[in-house]
Structure 1
Amino acid sequence: MRSRPIRVMIVDDSAIVRQVASEAINAQPDMTVLATAVDPLFAIDKMRKEWPDVVVLDIEMPRMDGLTFLRKLMAERPTPVVICSTLVESGAKASFEALSAGAVGLVTKPKFGLKQFLQDESDSLVAAVRAAASARLRPAKAARAPEVVPRPKLTLDDLPRGPRLARNGERSRIVAIGTSTGGTLALEAVLTALPEDVPGMVVVQHMPAGFTEMFARRLNGLCRIQVREACHGDRVEPGLALIAPGGRHMQVARDANGYFVGVVDGPLINRHKPSVDVLFRSVARVAGGNALGIIMTGMGDDGALGLKEMREAGAATIAESEETCVVFGMPREAILRGAAGSVLPLHDISGGLLAWSHGREG
């Protein structure tokens, strides 16, 4: 248990953001706003006097932009950072650069109607700050975004040995992945290591509405597999990963031609939409032992019960180990519930997936 409140610094050139965010944070018994600053240079001066536990950071600011400040912070004294970004393409692109540079959370703000929006979405901000306070940061070098260049093809010697599946066997298999805080980098690490012939994948990453399309496009440019934001009715195909849209649940169904996804509205489940539990439970129902479930870094317990249902239905299941999790929440709950057939560090999860897909569950 934390012996004192989470000390938060808010760095944003908008007075409305500073005011409303401060009110939301100070209303929590386990949080307090240590200071606010209109830009990073003022923030640096204040941080020299007292260092915060979490920084809520805007991207577009005068004198020094948030991305430059974040990189400086991660190089000199790594500190959990939650990005507060406008939902425009330039803001979304910079936000993913920030996540690759070490930021652990992302909340969105509109260009208009800002005060009412922030008041309505204050729970999301508070949850992001609380998750960030629990984060274990990786070294700055490991957090840098990789160059977007074509990756070399895997050879047969690079793949686990095992019987190859017939094409109909490949289509009968499906991989479901769920993750949250720290998950953007975790997903990047797993998906960029996969060859084009892996079984189809369905993914829930807790992320605000509007950012998942940009996230999917970014991954698509880094991976050998195809990655895109899911649309209602999309087919789950080998070599394709479908990312659940922010603000919508994603479920898997099956017909004579294979798996397809339903993208639907609905209430928050475990405080999230999309919810990992919603995805995992649907996969347990329609795929059973033909599925692999993977749960990775994130705060809370979303996905733990769904992963258990998958395992009870005969699916192989993997939880990320504590040693590599940014936040060891969701995997921990899955392990405690007996949902994890294997517990693997992040760097071994893609290998476990490949071993399973080639007929050798690991």
Structure 2
Amino acid sequence: PLPVVMVSAYTESGSSAALRALDLGAIDVVEKPRMEVRDGLNRLAELIIDKVRAASYARVATPAERFFDGISAEPVQISQAEREKIGSLPNQHVIAIGASTGGPQALSSIFRVLPRDLPPILVVQHITPSFTESFCNSLDHDSQLTVQLGAEGAHLRRGHAYLAPGGQHMLLRRTGDDLTLTLSGHDRVNRHRPSVDELFKSVAESAGSFATGILLTGMGVDGAEGLALMRGKGAWTLAQDESSSVVFGMPRAAIEQNGVDQVIGLDEIPNAIVKHFIVESNN
């Protein structure tokens, strides 16, 4: 299949169409400028070039693959006793996930099957800022978890996931046993804001060995350094494998920096997360 990058207007219908395009296999979405199109596209030239370059490396699933992946996904099976064990874990536990090209589809497949009983999940997805809220709502609609945009000072809650808002770094802060979010508009890192590395580094410092780090499909190196730092602080770290990644750039970079405990397929990640916390609850 031919890789597709969609250019969409930021309207309610345009945003819905953009998310639908991602569901149907588009590699990425770029917001159509709200000014005169030619001038606006000139200003967005660098972004568009980056998106097209990433698409040129992408592994595009066939319609049949997407169909069978969709119908084969089942919620992770977890007993009531296991739910209670996970619920008894210390509040310091947190999961951090980073993704770029191909990430919306990967995150959707993970969130559709995760149980609601997990520690809080923090997510950075490289996506056009104006589509972030719509993507967040889509994840929330399809998940047992409550998915919301990260907000300044938000106190993390079990069974909740927090998606970094567009154009802002999302960081974890710890005060005593209390974990909260803070947002920052400081300079881009690895050409991104929000940056996966900024989230991961803050999680390494604030949660240490209570953290789980997961780096999904994506172009470039964002998240590799932060994941290695998390692992160095005792966190359990995962990377999506090459065969299930749309672009294997970010996971490969993390592996090369010795930042990954386990490399597994996308469909294995939800079960691996749940099993990890069941084991943690028995320790």
TM-score norm. by structure 2 comes to 0.92
Which of the residues 26, 29, 32 maps onto 1:103?
Answer: 26
CA offset digits 1:51-72 (Å, max 9, x no partner): xxxxxxxxxxxxxxxxxxxxxx
Which runs of 5 or more residues in structure 2 are unaligned? none
Q: What residue in structure 2 maps to residue 135 of structure 1?
A: 58
Match runs of 1:189-228 below 5 Å: 189-228=109-148
| Deviation, structure 1 residue 166 | 5.3
2:85 is aligned to: 164
Residues 169-218 of structure 1 show CA distances to partners (whole Å, capped at 9, x for unaligned) of: 34210000000000001001111111111110000000111111100100
User: Structure 1's 92 and 275: CA in aligned 2 closer, same or farther, altered over 3 A?
Assistant: same
How far off is 1:247 after superposition? 1.1
Aligned partners of 1:136 and 1:142: how far apart in 2?
A: 12
Whether 1:187 and 2:110 are equivalent positions in the alignment is: no
Distance in 2 of aligned mates of 1:153 and 1:189: 12
1:299 pairs with 2:219: yes
Report the AA paired with residue 224 of structure 2: A
Name the CA distance, whole Å, in 2 between partners of 1:141 and 1:251: 39
Q: Which position in structure 2 is the counterpart of 1:254?
A: 174
Determine if contact 1:176/1:293 at 8 Å carries over to the other structure.
yes
Cα RMSD (Å): 2.2
Give the C-alpha shift of residue 288 in structure 1: 0.3
**When you count helix as a share of all residues, which structure comes out higher?**
2
Task: Go from structure 1 to structure 2 and tell me whether the alpha carbon gap of 1:220 and 1:323 turns closer, same or farther (over 3 Å shift).
Answer: same
Comparing 133-142 with 180-189, which one deviates more in the overlay?
133-142
Deviation at 1:245, TM superposition (A): 1.1
Q: How does 1:331-346 map to 2 (within 5 A)?
A: 331-346=251-266
Q: For 2:7 and 2:162, how far apart are their aligned partners in 1?
A: 25
1:1-362 aligned within 5 A: 78-143=1-66, 154-156=77-79, 164-165=85-86, 167=88, 169-256=89-176, 258-360=178-280
**Count of residue correspondences:** 278
Post-superposition CA distance 1:90-131 (Å, at most 9, x none): 101110000000001111123334333322221110000000
In the alignment, is the contact (CA less than 8 A) between 1:308 and 1:339 conserved in 2?
yes
The question of whether the paired residues in 2 share the 8 Å contact of 1:177 and 1:202 is answered with yes
Superposed CA deviations along residues 120-160 of structure 1, whole A, max 9, x for unmatched, are 2211100000000000011213435969xxx8794418x9x
In 1, Cα distance between equivalents of 2:273 and 2:75: 19
Name the structure 2 match of 1:36.
none
Contact 2:168 2:193 in 1 (8 A): yes
For 1:360 and 1:153, locate their aligned partners in 2 and report how far apart those are by CA, in whole Å. 17
The one of the two structures with greater contact order (alpha-carbon pairs below 8 A, sep at least 6) is 2
Is the contact between residue 172 and residue 181 of structure 2 (CA under 8 Å) also seen in structure 1? yes
Contact 1:170–1:238 under 8 Å retained in 2: no
SS at match of 2:154: coil
Letter in 2 for 1:335: I
Give identity over the alignment, percent.
Answer: 37
CA contact (8 A) 2:156 2:179 kept: yes
C-alpha distance in 2, partners of 1:131/1:141? Answer: 23
Contact preservation (8 Å) 1:162, 1:360:
no
Q: Secondary structure at the match of 1:358?
A: helix
Q: Residue type of the partner of 1:231?
A: A
Looking at structure 1, the residues matched to 270 and 76 of structure 2 have their Cα atoms a distance apart, in angstroms, of 15
Report the secondary structure of 1:271's partner residue: coil
Structure 1 letter corresponding to 2:45: S
Task: Give CA deviations for 1:204-254 in whole Å, capped at 9, x if unaligned.
Answer: 000111111100100111000111111212222111110011211111101
Q: Structure 1 length normalisation: TM-score? A: 0.72
Distance in structure 1 (CA, Å) of the matches to 2:66 and 2:10: 23
Q: What is the distance in 1 between the residues matched to 2:122 and 2:152?
A: 13
Deviations 1:12-46 (A, max 9, x none): xxxxxxxxxxxxxxxxxxxxxxxxxxxxxxxxxxx
Contact 1:175 1:293 in 2 (8 A): yes
CA contact (8 A) 1:232 1:262 kept: yes
Q: Provide the C-alpha distance between the structure 1 equivalents of 2:76 and 2:29, rounded to a whole number of angstroms.
A: 33
CA contact (8 A) 2:4 2:28 kept: yes
Determine the C-alpha separation between the residues in 2 that align with 1:110 and 1:314: 44
CA 1:152–1:85 in structure 2 vs 1: closer, same or farther (change >3 Å)?
Answer: same
